[in-house]
Amino acid sequence: MRECEGTTCDMVYLDTSRGRRRRWCSAAVCGNRHHVAAHRARKAGQT
C-alpha cells in the first residue's frame, strides 16, 4: 500500500508494478498533472 505523491490527492493504492516504484494512483490524472507542472516550470525558466 502506498500513498499517492500528487499534491492534491489523498488516494492510497496497491503498488503492483515491477520494482514497486509507482508514484501516483493514476498516471493519467496525478502523473499527468505533475508532468504538466514540470513542463510549465521549465518553460517559465527559459524566458
* Residues 29-38 as b or e (16 or more Cβ within 10 Å = b): ebbebbeeee
C-alpha cell at 11: 488516494
Q: Which residues pair with 2 in a beta bridge?
A: 13
- Specify the pLDDT at position 47: 57
Share the mean pLDDT of the chain. 92
The percent of residues in the chain predicted with pLDDT above 70, rounded, is 98
- Mean predicted confidence (pLDDT) in 2-20: 93
Domain ranges of the chain: 2-46
